[in-house]
Structure 1
């Protein structure tokens, strides 16, 4: 098992991320251009800044800013290269001015000019392939949440299924919300719902349209706790037919 390396905020608890970190460490000692490939939220920017800690970091979509910056630097980090409106010209300027560049790019992007400048390319796998890293990231984000919310409450991982749709970005958001809700007071929860509803109300059917905000979590929590519709109907003081109807009405949220 690889060691957990968090000195750069890049978690390397699994072999594939440890290999990516090893490649980045090697690139710190070499004067070559490199392309870091991967999905959103896998750590491309973190490793790019680890390789070139003093270089300016610019989004590829900021075309004019990149051209201006290339006139006064000897190294640069360009993020999301696939969003550049003119990759050919950017690469031409970099080659002409002999500037070292570390760039990031999505997996699916292909461009004929990339091989003209990048002598090293390496992938960072998505978190769906890095289960050990997910565990470490959950711990890291939970710790950050406890500091942010000034809470001593331990993160409750029961019934927690990591949201990896955007890798660390979606996971961090999920952990933060999960941590916040784990220590939330009823008045705070009502305030959240109030803020959610304030700009959505306006039709004559709003009571019925937004009743799911109460019913769906109540039913979902009840089924998780009591394990059967029979017990839940008894605890809620509803007959079973009424409960079945409410479950059917809210099935898309359960």
Structure 2
């Protein structure tokens, strides 16, 4: 399978899975306590709000509480209002993005709908505070190291099931988890790493060729894009040899030249 086809598969897969990017993991104390609160909420007829950044499993936790409820984004206001007229319980994602919080809350109350809402905004309006008697605060993955390790294993198993291949050949030991978007970025990173386990020189060059094709056009492009080669080479070398002296020897560069290259590419290292 060519790398371009693989990369297209990843884009489609990640886009399709944004709604449920993480199976809710309880390896850390914070997520375990959140799961305990959610278990209690399953038995209570109260509204609740789950707060935290994107990609940490808020909707997954909400669906654990209300497994039969449909999920609606608050920004799709008319669709949400229609759903409230025919539902007993509902999950509202991004409730902080509702264009009319007051009208939304009134509709929820008038229709007697039980709501589990999510929000990535820690500043909550008075109306939402009154609506949701219980709040669950989920910290980012950067504060849940045990969950990160468990999610990597989960995503690795998922990649193996989707794409086949030899899972044992995919080494993630030297991978620094990308938590910039929590589970979203971590899942994408594991998927791409898995797909690249059998990459060949020709595949990598073709990938770079396609990347550069639409970006070329200035009179200084050689110097402008040299970092695409130099930065990963230096970063990999520093990880492998743990010493600028050893790396300069392996690369056939004098130490001053290597230091200059490191300084030029410091934003990527």
Instruction: With the length of structure 2 as denominator, give the TM-score of the two structures.
Output: 0.84
- Distance 1:218-1:34 versus aligned 2 partners, 3 A rule: same
C-alpha contact (below 8 Å) 1:39/1:107 kept by paired residues: yes
What is residue 6 of structure 2 aligned with on the other side? none
- Distance 1:99-1:168 versus aligned 2 partners, 3 A rule: same
Of 193, 196, 199, the residue aligned with 1:178 is 193
Of 123, 142, 146, the residue aligned with 1:132 is 146
Q: Structure 2 matches for 1:1-254, cutoff 5 A? A: 9-154=23-168, 155-254=170-269
SS in 1 for 2:126: coil
- Distance 1:18-1:251 versus aligned 2 partners, 3 A rule: closer
- Distance 1:152-1:96 versus aligned 2 partners, 3 A rule: same
SS in 2 for 1:92: helix
| Number of matched pairs | 247
SS in 2 for 1:90: helix
Shift of 1:107: 4.8
How far apart in 2 are the matches of 1:213 and 1:177? 18
- The structure with the largest helix share of the pair is 2
Shift of 1:131: 1.6
Shift of 1:65: 0.8
* Greater alpha carbon shift after TM alignment, 225-234 vs 83-92: 225-234
Shift of 1:246: 2.9
> What are the Cα deviations for residues 136-170 of structure 1, in whole angstroms up to 9, with x where unaligned?
11111111122333221434233322222222112
SS in 2 for 1:113: helix
How far apart in 1 are the matches of 2:241 and 2:144? 34
Unaligned runs of at least 5 residues, structure 1: 1-7
SS in 1 for 2:174: coil
C-alpha contact (below 8 Å) 1:41/1:166 kept by paired residues: yes
* Greater alpha carbon shift after TM alignment, 232-241 vs 166-175: 232-241
Root-mean-square deviation over aligned CA pairs: 2.0
* Greater alpha carbon shift after TM alignment, 94-103 vs 223-232: 223-232
How far apart in 2 are the matches of 1:250 and 1:204? 20
> What are the Cα deviations for residues 176-205 of structure 1, in whole angstroms up to 9, with x where unaligned?
223233332222212221221121111121
How far apart in 2 are the matches of 1:100 and 1:227? 56
C-alpha contact (below 8 Å) 2:51/2:122 kept by paired residues: no
